[in-house]
Amino acid sequence: MARARFSKSFTQQPPIPEDAIEAAVAVMRSGRLHRYNTAPGVPGETMELERDFALWQGQPFCLAVASGGQAMQIALRAAGVKMGDLVLTNGFTLAPVPGAIAVVGGKPVLVEITDDLVIDLDDLAAKARQTGARFLLLSHMRGHLCDMERLMQIATELDITVLEDCAHTMGARWNRKLSGSFGLAGCFSTQTYKHLNSGEGGLLTSQDAEFMARATILSGSYMLFDRHGAGPATEVYDDIRLDTPNTSARMDNLRAALLRPQLRRIDQSIAAWNERYDLVAAKLAAHPAIRLPTRPEAEAYVGSSIQFRLPGITAENAQTLVARLSGAGVEVKWFGAPHPIGFTSDHHSWRYVAAQNLPQTDRILAGLFDMRLPLSFTLPDCALLADLIVDAVAALQTRATS
């Protein structure tokens, strides 16, 4: 019997909570949207958000900025990346990651990934030794964590500064330690499709006072660095404030007001995402042709999307599968497509990056599919999605053998 067609939108997020709406309205009524335009003695929503997120993340310092991309760019500059410096990063990530490296004048060195969609640590060590690169912008792409203890051991041995792109791993942990807490800095996004939703926005965390002082000036502090909720002591800025260029990459009070109530609910959101992810993953894993990334026991993930592989699938059959699922109302992305579509891309389409040979990554991406799991989907919705994917894969196999 044919399955019902899926009819919900993959881009529809849950509504902003009422208390967040009320907080945003209060900011609008005050007219004080700019983060530094606050009434005397009133900290302001952005300052409070920095305090809240630093406490939740377990880090002493947090800076709220305009986007996750800006968090990465500022982190790279504050870490000391200069024009022409080589920066290691995953061969499988989204364009803003190599884009951030290119924008600050760095040269990306792309590292292979494994079948589990994480950075290949053997290739990382080899390329660090071959190139002398001393910076790593590590992308926890689509919410998958590599062995973070081994990665940090490599980084220590080879004197590599690690910056973590946690756009997909807010709340994820490796051996109970939060992502974004391993390297010099954690970079987070609050864009609509991430774990907190302010349309656009970013957060940068660190334990290093001088790094955060440079980042704060870079974000455009107008020498008002004492108005930050989780910033270094004012004396840390004595020389940094004069040596560091000031740009405009601040978060505003309106977006911060939207985010603070969502942050208070994030643990419940993570549990809800993982319930959906685990349901879909169990159904997909039951089909012998479908491969899911292995989730190590040490990894506590946030399943806001799911990835599956069909090893050896031809480009024609991959396109047929995507079209068949689209016809059933299921929006699945294929990372092996020759041209970037929507929120997918691969290293061949990053023309601002020197072409590099990544045969292992190319093999994996050729059979890799990706699907969002927004919290606007119910558990029965997720069950139907998984069934429709399994049906489409089975139909493709039947077609191939007929």
DSSP 54-94: HHHHT-SEEEEES-HHHHHHHHHHHHT--TT-EEEEESSS-
Is residue 39 in a domain?
yes
> Do residues 241 and 329 both lie within one domain?
no
> Do residues 76 and 127 both lie within one domain?
yes
Is residue 131 in a domain?
yes
- Give 338's contacts (C-beta < 8 A, 6+ positions apart): 315, 348
> Do residues 128 and 240 both lie within one domain?
yes
> In CATH, what number is assigned to the domain containing residue 284?
3.90.1150.10
2-14 residue pLDDT tens: 678 999 999 999 9
Would you state the pLDDT for residue 1? 57
> Do residues 315 and 394 both lie within one domain?
yes
> Do residues 228 and 111 both lie within one domain?
yes
> Do residues 22 and 84 both lie within one domain?
yes
The radius of gyration computed from the CA coordinates of the chain, to the nearest angstrom, equals 22
Domain boundary among 214, 241, 264: 264
Is residue 389 in a domain?
yes
Is residue 376 in a domain?
yes
| Residue 190: domain span | 18-264
Domain boundary among 264, 291, 307: 264
What is the reported pTM? 0.96
Is residue 118 in a domain?
yes
Is residue 6 in a domain?
no
> Do residues 207 and 284 both lie within one domain?
no
Residue 124 Cα to chain centre, angstroms: 20
**What is the rounded distance in angstroms from the CA atom of residue 210 to the CA atom of residue 225?**
13
Beta strands in 229-388 (DSSP E): 299-300, 305-309, 333-334, 368-372
**Residue that has been written with the tokens 């947090």 in this structure:** 62
Compute CA distances 97 → 15, 75, 343, 397, whole Å.
28, 12, 13, 36
> What does each of the 402 residues of the chain score in pLDDT, given as a tens digit?
567 899 999 999 999 999 999 999 999 999 999 999 999 989 999 999 999 999 999 999 999 999 999 999 999 999 999 999 999 999 999 999 999 999 999 999 999 999 999 999 999 999 999 999 999 999 999 999 999 999 999 999 999 999 999 999 999 999 999 999 999 999 999 999 999 999 999 999 999 999 999 999 999 998 999 999 999 999 999 999 999 999 999 999 999 999 999 999 999 999 999 999 999 999 999 999 999 999 999 999 999 999 999 999 999 999 999 999 999 999 999 999 888 776 677 899 999 999 999 999 999 999 999 999 999 999 999 999 999 999 999 999 877 665
> Do residues 276 and 191 both lie within one domain?
no
> In CATH, what number is assigned to the domain containing residue 100?
3.40.640.10
> Do residues 225 and 285 both lie within one domain?
no
Tokens read off for 173: 């942990």
> Do residues 289 and 160 both lie within one domain?
no
> Do residues 250 and 376 both lie within one domain?
no
Is residue 218 in a domain?
yes
Count structural domains, the chain: 2
> Do residues 94 and 119 both lie within one domain?
yes
Is residue 2 in a domain?
no
**Strand ordering across the sheet containing 299-300:** 177-178, 173-174, 299-300
Domain boundary among 247, 264, 281: 264
**What is the rounded distance in angstroms from the CA atom of residue 268 to the CA atom of residue 280?**
19
